[in-house]
C-alpha cells in the first residue's frame, strides 16, 4: 500500500464516529504492522496533554516501551508530542538520548523506531512503528562509534567497554551526541580533542589500573 493510502486509511479509522477509541487504535496498529514495510510491531496512544488516555499495541511486549518513557520522563513519544512532529530512533544499540527506552527496546528485540503524531486541539494521537533492524543512518552511526572506540582503546590502552564509557562521559559533559564525540575522536586520530598531555595521562592511568599479573617462569 502506498504511504498516502496508508495515511488516508489511518485518518479514516480515527475519524469514524461510531468506532470506539480503543477499537480505532487497535485497528491502527494492526494496519501499520500489516501495511508498512519492515514494521515488526506498532503502538498507538490517545493523549490529553502528556497523559495517555487510551493505548494499543500489536504485541504484548511493546507496552513496556511506553511505560518506561512515562516513568523516566523521556523518550521518542514524549519528544514527538512536545515537538509536534515525527521523531526517530535509528538504532537503539547506539541511542544515547533515551537510555531507559533504548535498554527496554533491546530487551524486546527492537532496533529502530519512528513515532508519528497527529495533534488535534488539546488532544493528540501517536503512532510508533518498530523494526528489528537498525535504519541505515543508525548502522552508519554504529560504525562511526566502533571506529572511534577502537582508536581510544589503542591510545588509552583500555577495554572496549571503558572506551565507550569515556565517549558517553564526554558527550554528557559537553552536551553532544556520542556520534559527534566519535567523529571528533576520529578527526583527532584518537586523542578525542583532549590534547597529547591528557591523552598520555589517560594511558598512564589505564596501565596503572590494570591488575598485576606475575611473569610466567
Tell me the CATH number for domain 137-208. 1.10.10
Query: What does the pLDDT read at residue 139?
Result: 60
Residue 14 has pLDDT above 90, yes or no: no
Q: How crowded is residue 78: how many other Cβ atoms within 10 Å of its Cβ? A: 21
Contact 64/104 with Cβ under 8 angstroms?
A: yes
Q: To which residue does cell 578525542 refer?
A: 192
Distance CA 185, CA 192 (A): 4
State the chain's mean pLDDT as an integer. Answer: 81
**Domain edges within the chain:** 3-134, 137-208
Contact 90/134 with Cβ under 8 angstroms?
A: yes
Residue 215 has pLDDT above 60, yes or no: no
Query: What does the pLDDT read at residue 143?
Result: 73
3-state secondary structure (DSSP) of residue 131: strand
Residue 148 has pLDDT above 90, yes or no: no
pLDDT in tens, 68-107: 999 999 999 999 999 988 999 999 988 999 999 999 999 9
pLDDT in tens, 16-63: 444 588 888 999 999 999 888 889 999 999 998 888 999 999 999 999
Query: What does the pLDDT read at residue 9?
Result: 65
User: Residue 117: phi, psi to the nearest 5?
Assistant: -140, 140
Burial class (CB in 10 A: 0-12, 13-18, 19+), 207: exposed
CB proximity list for 165: less than 8 A, separation 6 or greater = none
Which of 112, 23, 133 has its CA nearest to residue 65? 112
CATH architecture of structural domain 3-134: 2-Layer Sandwich (3.30)
Amino acid at each position: 500500500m502506498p504511504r498516502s493510502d496508508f495515511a488516508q486509511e489511518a485518518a479514516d479509522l480515527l475519524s469514524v464516529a461510531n468506532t470506539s477509541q480503543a477499537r480505532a487504535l487497535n485497528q491502527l496498529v494492526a494496519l501499520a504492522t500489516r501495511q508498512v514495510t519492515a514494521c515488526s510491531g506498532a503502538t498507538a496512544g490517545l493523549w490529553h496533554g502528556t497523559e495517555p488516555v487510551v493505548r494499543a499495541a500489536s504485541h504484548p511486549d511493546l507496552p513496556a516501551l511506553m511505560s518506561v518513557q512515562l516513568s523516566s520522563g523521556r523518550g521518542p513519544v514524549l519528544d514527538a508530542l512536545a515537538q509536534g512532529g515525527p521523531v526517530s530512533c535509528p538504532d537503539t544499540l547506539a541511542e544515547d538520548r533515551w537510555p531507559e527506552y533504548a535498554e527496554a527496546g533491546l530487551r524486546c528485540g527492537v532496533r529502530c523506531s519512528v513515532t508519528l503524531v497527529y495533534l488535534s486541539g488539546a488532544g493528540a494521537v501517536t503512532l510508533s512503528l518498530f523494526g528489528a533492524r537498525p535504519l541505515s543512518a543508525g548502522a552508519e552511526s554504529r560504525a562511526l562509534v566502533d571506529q572511534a572506540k577502537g582508536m581510544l582503546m589503542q591510545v588509552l590502552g583500555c577495554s572496549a567497554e571503558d572506551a565507550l564509557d569515556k565517549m558517553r562521559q564526554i558527550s554528557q559533559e559537553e552536551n553532544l551526541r556520542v556520534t559527534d564525540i566519535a567523529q571528533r575522536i576520529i578527526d583527532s586520530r584518537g586523542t578525542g580533542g583532549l590534547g597529547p598531555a591528557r591523552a598520555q595521562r589517560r594511558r598512564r592511568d589505564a596501565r596503572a589500573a590494570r591488575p598485576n599479573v606475575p611473569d610466567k617462569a
